[in-house]
């Protein structure tokens, strides 16, 4: 038995046989061809590309019907690569000038582009390299005349029994081929929380552990493993005790989730009558169904940049309006908070013009990028205002550091309304406007900002990063991610006080909202709304329904007297253990799931 620690990409437990994805990598043999054969090689190249296109289109169809059209967009990027001028020009030049066979010319052309992308060293480009490699192998298989069909041409064998999919890395189209059938979970050597496989695992509700640094790629089909997606743990060849324990935890988890499903239509109201709104964070349209199934009362954070990334282009005003309207309608009258594009930082996108910088998180991101690209910003606002005729929508601006930025953003909104009125387009011109509070300066001038906007949403991911000066993407300083650090508790406390004094509400949309152990702290701090991924919502709601707000406030009062995050963590752990014991003794509260996260 061997245990490995990776990155927790999707919660849940699984025990089962491995289905190892080991693709045969095709390395074409370079062959010199006589001059007269050049046209034939060009024709072979065209045919291989056409065959690969047909294959990808089939996959897109399949993915659309299984997961929804939006997920399928990921694969559309691969179609674009096959039509990319860079790929065509480089391949044709190599065939003509070096007089080599089409497959080796194509492989070299793609390899050159991939190494240029790799030099850029950022995640978006690395994802692209994945796509490029995927496409390259697909085309090379077409040269070899492999057929089109279920799993064919992908070099993938589908699992024939319920299995845990193990791979060094999975490409977007691999995940499309695998679909949902017989998939118990995923383990992967590469990738982070934002990798496609993590997103797919969350959307189909299976556990995933990524970043396993070699442990996943070494697994063999049929080998038994146990997986804890919440803790990022993989146990290879588990002994009987571990297997029994993981199976038990999987059942406990399932039963707890089934029990929690009963909470869907109940409000997050404490026994002493305090009400908190429970909203969902959404990146992709497909997540709406899940959010509603878990009882989301609205979308508290729609990360619109992911919609742009998904489409691999800047959608027009009409396209955005259509996409947003669909999501607003999908929420059936519940509010949707559109966060205007938050690119920059780790969310680089070449076609949007956000470039890699020395200090990207301190650079051209969020509202700075939007105000420097006003036409893009205004177009997005116009689309939201038009979509808002189908249901309540709000606008939220990212990375605000001061009142001037807020005023300028509001000015853009006013211009958007004026344009829409002049163009005679149906829209709403009264969208509530709020800001993400995620920079220390926004905290320090929360009173000034609260006087000029309609709501706050605390982005704890960035607030912790900026307050504690720890890069949120750097594993070496990740120990500093401490939501209970006195500086963070004080920042949140101060922000909520300022907002309430000004008569506006405050939400939370950072990941700290999904930590069950923190639910009572959030209640005691006084959040009016908590927005989180749908899967985690019921557990947090349950804690709120069990906890008197007066008690939660006392807990926070005590935590605020402590001097370090360690002291606060220890105190909270003891407090939760004591509460759990009390509840276990109380027949009304059997089946507690508190503190598991
Ligand atoms: C945050 O910073 O907490 C947040 C919710 O925004 P993002 O994670 O998209 O930066
Ligand atoms: Mg943020």
Tens-digit pLDDT profile for residues 520-562: 999 999 999 999 988 889 999 999 999 999 999 999 999 999 9
**196 noted as active-site residue:** yes
CA of 301 to the centre of ligand 1 (A): 9
- Predicted local confidence at residue 359, as pLDDT: 85
Closest ligand (CA of 513): 1
Q: Which atom of ligand 1 is nearest to the CA of 461?
A: 3
Please tell me if the CB atom of residue 344 comes closer than 6 angstroms to any atom of ligand 1: no
Phi, psi of 16 (to 5 degrees): 170, 180
Residue 194 predicted with pLDDT over 60: no
Residue 253 near ligand 1, beta carbon < 6 Å = no
Residue 444 — pLDDT band, cuts 50, 70, 90? very high
Segment 97-147, tens digit of pLDDT: 999 999 999 999 988 888 877 777 566 666 677 678 778 888 988 887 643
CB-based contact 401:442 (threshold 8 Å): yes
Among the ranges given (203-207, 277-281, 484-488), the one the predictor scored with the smallest mean pLDDT: 203-207
Q: Is the CB of 193 under 6 A from ligand 1?
A: no
pTM value is: 0.70
Task: Kindly state if the Cβ of 303 falls inside 6 Å of ligand 1.
Answer: yes
Number of residues written out for the chain:
597
CA distance 533 to 4: 26
461 CB within 6 A, ligand 1? yes
For 344, phi and psi rounded to 5 degrees?
Answer: 95, -175
Q: How far is the CA of 171 from the centre of ligand 1 (A)?
A: 25
Probe residue for ligand 1, chosen from 436, 456, 472, 488 as the CB with the greatest number of ligand atoms within 8 Å: 436
For residue 472, how many other CB atoms are within 10 A of its CB?
Answer: 18
CB contact at 8 A, 161 and 181:
no
Query: Does residue 17 sit in helix, strand or coil?
Result: strand
Rg (C-alpha) for the chain, rounded Å, is 26
List C-alpha distances in Å: 112 to 87, 118, 141, 172, 520. Answer: 10, 10, 19, 21, 53
Ligand 1 lined by 459 (C-beta under 6 Å): yes
Q: Which atom of ligand 1 is nearest to the CA of 510?
A: 3
- In degrees and rounded to multiples of 5, residue 231 shows phi and psi of -100, -5
pLDDT of residue 367: 97
What confidence score (pLDDT) does residue 68 get? 61
Ligand 1 closest atom vs CA 465 = 2
Q: Regarding beta strands 224-228 and 233-236, do their DSSP bridges make them parallel or antiparallel, or are they unpaired?
A: antiparallel
Instruction: Report the nearest-CA residue for atom 4 of ligand 1.
Output: 459
User: Any bridge partners for residue 269, and if so which?
Assistant: 275
């Amino acid at each position: 038995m061997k245990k490995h620690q990776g990155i927790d990409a999707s919660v849940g437990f699984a025990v089962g046989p491995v289905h190892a994805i080991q693709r045969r990598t095709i390395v074409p043999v370079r062959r010199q061809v006589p001059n007269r054969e050049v046209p034939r090689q060009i024709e072979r190249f065209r045919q291989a590309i056409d065959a690969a296109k047909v294959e990808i289109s089939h996959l897109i169809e399949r993915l659309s019907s299984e997961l929804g059209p939006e997920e399928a967009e990921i694969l559309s990027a691969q179609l674009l690569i096959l039509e990319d001028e860079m790929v065509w020009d480089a391949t044709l030049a190599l065939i003509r000038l070096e007089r080599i066979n089409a497959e080796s010319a194509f492989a070299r052309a793609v390899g050159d582009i991939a190494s240029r992308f790799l030099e850029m060293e950022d995640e978006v480009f690395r994802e692209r390299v994945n796509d490029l490699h995927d496409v390259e192998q697909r085309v090379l298989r077409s040269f070899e005349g492999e057929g089109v069909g279920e799993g064919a041409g992908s070099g993938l064998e589908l699992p024939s029994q319920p299995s845990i999919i193990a791979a060094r890395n999975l490409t977007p189209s691999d995940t499309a081929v695998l679909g949902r059938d017989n998939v118990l979970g995923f383990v992967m050597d590469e990738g982070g929380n934002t990798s496609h496989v993590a997103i797919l695992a969350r959307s189909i509700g299976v556990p995933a552990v990524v970043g396993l640094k070699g442990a996943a790629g070494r697994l063999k089909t049929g080998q038994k493993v146990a997986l804890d997606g919440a803790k990022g743990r993989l146990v290879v060849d588990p002994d009987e005790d571990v297997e029994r324990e993981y199976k038990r935890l999987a059942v406990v988890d399932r039963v707890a989730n089934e029990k929690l499903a009963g909470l869907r239509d109940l409000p997050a109201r404490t026994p002493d009558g305090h009400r908190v709104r429970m909203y969902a964070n959404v990146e992709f349209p497909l997540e709406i169904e899940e959010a509603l199934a878990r009882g989301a009362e609205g979308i508290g954070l729609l990360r619109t940049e992911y919609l742009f990334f998904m489409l691999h282009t800047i959608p027009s005003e009409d396209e955005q309006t259509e996409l947003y309207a669909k999501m607003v309608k999908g929420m059936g009258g519940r509010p949707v908070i559109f966060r205007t594009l938050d690119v920059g930082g780790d969310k680089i996108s070449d076609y949007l013009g956000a470039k890699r910088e020395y200090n990207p998180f301190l650079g051209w991101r969020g509202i700075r990028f939007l105000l420097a690209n006003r036409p893009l910003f205004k177009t997005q606002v116009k689309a939201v205002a038009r979509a808002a005729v189908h249901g309540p929508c709000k606008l939220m601006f990212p990375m605000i550091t001061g009142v001037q930025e807020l005023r300028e953003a509001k000015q853009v909104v006013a211009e958007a309304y004026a344009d829409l009125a002049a163009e005679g387009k149906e829209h709403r011109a009264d969208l509530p406007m709020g800001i993400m509070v995620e920079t220390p300066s926004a905290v320090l001038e929360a009173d000034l900002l609260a006087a000029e906007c309609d709501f706050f949403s605390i982005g704890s991911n960035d607030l912790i990063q900026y307050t504690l000066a720890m890069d949120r993407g750097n594993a070496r300083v990740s120990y500093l991610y401490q939501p209970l650090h006195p500086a963070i508790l004080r920042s949140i406390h101060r922000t909520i006080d300022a907002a309430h004094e000004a008569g506006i509400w405050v939400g939370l949309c950072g990941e700290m909202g999904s930590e069950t152990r923190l639910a009572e702290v959030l209640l005691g701090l006084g959040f009016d709304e908590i927005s989180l991924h749908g899967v985690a919502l019921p557990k947090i709601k349950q804690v709120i329904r069990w906890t008197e707000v007066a008690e939660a406030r006392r807990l926070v009062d005590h935590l605020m007297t402590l001097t370090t995050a360690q002291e606060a963590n220890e105190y909270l752990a003891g407090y939760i253990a004591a509460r759990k014991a009390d509840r276990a003794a109380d027949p009304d509260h059997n089946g507690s799931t508190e503190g598991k996260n």
